[in-house]
Structure 1
Amino acid sequence: MRAAAFLDGWLRHKILLQHDKPGIYAYEQRISCRGRKMARLGFISLLRLEDFGRGKVFPHEETYPKAKLDRLQLMRAASANFESIFALYSDEKGKVTKTLKQFIKKKPLIEAKDKQNVIHRLWCIDRKSAIAKIVQEMKDKAVFIADGHHRYEAALRFRTEQKTKNTKFTEEELYNHAMMYFAPLEDKGLIILPFHRVVKPLAFFEPERFEQNLTQFFEVKPYPANRRTADKVRRKLLKDLGKSGLEKHVLGLYLGNHRYFLLTLKDETLIEEMVAEEKPKAWKMLDANILHFAVFDRLLNIAQETEDKIIYTKSDEEAVKLVDEKGRLMAFFLNPTKIEEIVAIASKLEKLPHKSTCFYPKLLSGLVLNKFEHGEKVKV
């Protein structure tokens, strides 16, 4: 595989240099979001692998065989981690963050700006006492995978393959660990963006009947608009969607021809009665599931959110354009999934619906690499 050849060449020609001491890397990302400057501070380290349900590592997304195989084949060929898995942990008292901040006052080892104008800054922490302090603080913490589920499951598979070749497995082997980026759940720079849903044309759709049927489950508030006021009205709807979503279950709806609506769920029991599966209430009451069960399933007869019926987009403007200019049927605007919802659901080993979360900003690939040297072990 070309990736393995490139990596070996970079190491051989000293384009990439291996740090001569064990280290943890403080990683800060600076962004401008919604007119505000923000920063997120975490760290990159190795985590000893645990099977889901048998330790303190919790996923929240479904994975797909092809994507897992791609990651596994890369690990087999290159014996390395090229990207960090994005994980979340609770640092309510800020102890880990306080330790990291002691090291980010000096000039960073790396500073780069990506195409989205996100500034990435990296510092190496190789002081033994600081590493020990962070390790001790993290020892009993639950870890929630935010992004990188396929890489984590590929790492589990790679470990299993390597164990069969090693009769003296000790758990300290490098391949029994994954390179991860850890960010606090409480960090104000932890941003979750929503995925809006756009419905493709459906046979036998009756707009007037659909609008009437919505009142079975929702209080329907229209937002009158015309060509001149459409953008302003959309922004007003999204603002009200966010504000109302702090206390209620709400969805935004666009039916084309400048017709906007705010949908407020009338009664949670309506949704709970629809869901035959034994699921935690937090899962049932996700906005994405309310949309799926009440609207897609009951009113539109879309049993599954498949790509041939639903388009996902992070842009409300794109959602509207798909309806107005590309002949799509309607668009639904969602609030971001709350971090509390993710933790509550993942803690029960349940998975969120497809396209429920988009963590921003993304991690920059290649800042730190983890090469599995033959026979090397991890000792803390």
Structure 2
Amino acid sequence: ELYARDPRNIVRVVLNRTAGDGAYDEAGATFRGWVAAGLLAPDDEPALYLVEQAFEVEGRPHERYGLLARFRVEDDARGRVLPHEHTRQAAKEDRYKLLKATRANFSPIFLMFSDRQGSFQKQAEATARTPPDFQYTDDGGVVHRVWRIRDGAAVSALQSAIGSEKAYIADGHHRWATAQRYHREVGPEAAWTLGYFTPMEAPGLVVLPYHRLLDRGPSIEEAGRALRAHFDLSDVKGAAAAAKKAAQSKAAYAFGLVDPSGAGLVAQARAGAGALLPADAPPSLRALDTFFLHQAVLSRLLNVPEDAVRYAHSMREVEEELKAGKCKLAVIMRPTPVAQIVDVADARASMPAKSTFFHPKLPSDLVVHPLHG
């Protein structure tokens, strides 16, 4: 659909449809053609870009501010840019080939930093009271407003506000690994990459859960019998009710299970359920619902193999899968708190796949960061 909308849509670069490795050559040629035609032009002076995203979650309005800026690429050993997820080789290879063909960043690495004094948030809100340089509303109803900041004093103030000793990768782990590899191979040209920086304390930083869809496994009744020894179980009707009750739970671990008929239950772990986890699991991982689910529940109690697990980030997708009978059970998860993400990153550990969904996603091509010229 995006291909058909406009021949200048960035999807023709970042997700080119040409078969095989020719896609990367075509992406590079397309990007260079747009630059040559003047469709993309460099700023005439250094600038930072403030981005506001206004959106709703379950009917409640939110606003998230972040800053688009380039930052230095460095090895993880420096401990200043901290990831929290495993990366997949196929995805890294795809991003590497695109970077090599275009020599530019189109999608920023999403980073969180500490803004305990609120200085960044105050500056962002003050800027947002002025007219933006441009704005638009995307297909999901998210309103994006962007300000180009060129005033030297304002730039310095924002740089100081995000000058934290550490930044935590929220999203973009494959892009970060790709930037590191390209820097090692190319050298100074690749010393910088594109980032989006937002405060971890901001109320607009919304983390949603990834739910699990089980293609094989027990029935809802069999699952209840398998879980009864370690969990308090409550019957619910439907995925929405399971999500609401699980979110309200104060238990160390809680999740819902729902089958295509709508029959469901919410499991809240009793004290001592953590003993089901491997003894050598680090504390930062032991605290996670997703780690507990995969290490203790799916593999040990329900005998569900990893290749039977799919993922859905929205309740609508879960409900559609259940209604169509495309899964045996849906596992309804709670969101992962930001503090747990930080703990995992500080411990240099890695969460299970699809543990976090930062909403809304960042669009590609709000700004382009060329690695040359």
In the superposition, the TM-score normalised over structure 2's length comes to 0.87
Say which one has the larger Rg. 1
**1:354-373 to 2 correspondence within 5 Å?**
354-373=353-372
Shift of 1:256: 4.4
The one-letter code of the counterpart of 1:262 is V
SS in 1 for 2:324: helix
Structure 2 partner of 1:214: 227
Structure 1 partner of 2:278: 275
The one-letter code of the counterpart of 1:313 is A
Percentage of pairs with the same residue: 31
CA distance in 1, matches of 2:136, 2:206: 20
Structure 2 partner of 1:290: 292
CA distance in 1, matches of 2:315, 2:300: 24
Shift of 1:96: 1.8
**1:145-294 to 2 correspondence within 5 Å?**
145-163=169-187, 173-202=188-217, 205=218, 208-223=221-236, 225=237, 234-245=239-250, 248-267=252-271, 269-276=272-279, 278-294=280-296
Residues 103, 125 of structure 1: 8 Å contact kept: no
CA displacement 1:52-98 (0-9 Å, x = unmatched): 13231010111111211111112212111111111111111111222
SS in 2 for 1:351: coil
Change (3 A) 1:271 1:71: same
Shift of 1:355: 0.9
Residues 252, 260 of structure 1: 8 Å contact kept: yes
Residues 80, 165 of structure 2: 8 Å contact kept: yes
The one-letter code of the counterpart of 1:143 is A
Shift of 1:326: 2.2
CA displacement 1:197-250 (0-9 Å, x = unmatched): 121234xx5765542221121011123x5xxxx5xxx433322221114x5421
Shift of 1:286: 0.9
**1:346-357 to 2 correspondence within 5 Å?**
346-357=345-356
Structure 2 partner of 1:132: 156
> Does the alignment pair 1:16 with 2:40?
yes
Shift of 1:185: 0.6
**1:77-156 to 2 correspondence within 5 Å?**
77-156=101-180
CA distance in 1, matches of 2:318, 2:147: 40
Shift of 1:21: 1.0
CA distance in 2, matches of 1:343, 1:196: 21
The one-letter code of the counterpart of 2:29 is A
SS in 1 for 2:198: strand
Change (3 A) 1:137 1:317: closer
CA distance in 2, matches of 1:155, 1:125: 25
Change (3 A) 1:207 1:263: closer
CA distance in 1, matches of 2:324, 2:57: 28
Residues 275, 284 of structure 1: 8 Å contact kept: no
CA displacement 1:243-281 (0-9 Å, x = unmatched): 114x542111114433221111002x43245314x3322
Q: Which runs of 5+ in 2 are unaligned?
A: 1-24
SS in 1 for 2:295: helix
The one-letter code of the counterpart of 2:335 is P
The number of residue pairs the alignment matches comes to: 349
The one-letter code of the counterpart of 1:218 is F
Shift of 1:2: 2.0
Shift of 1:317: 4.5
Residues 109, 194 of structure 2: 8 Å contact kept: yes
CA distance in 1, matches of 2:71, 2:83: 15
SS in 2 for 1:107: coil
Change (3 A) 1:114 1:317: closer
Residues 120, 364 of structure 1: 8 Å contact kept: no
Change (3 A) 1:237 1:72: closer
In the superposition, the TM-score normalised over structure 1's length comes to 0.86
SS in 1 for 2:273: helix
Change (3 A) 1:279 1:131: farther
Change (3 A) 1:273 1:332: closer
CA distance in 2, matches of 1:200, 1:372: 44
Shift of 1:186: 1.2
CA distance in 2, matches of 1:221, 1:27: 43
CA distance in 1, matches of 2:185, 2:129: 42
SS in 1 for 2:144: strand
Change (3 A) 1:329 1:107: same
Shift of 1:323: 4.1
Indicate the RMSD between aligned Cα atoms, in angstroms: 2.0
CA distance in 1, matches of 2:152, 2:166: 24
Shift of 1:107: 1.9
The one-letter code of the counterpart of 1:14 is G
Structure 2 partner of 1:169: none
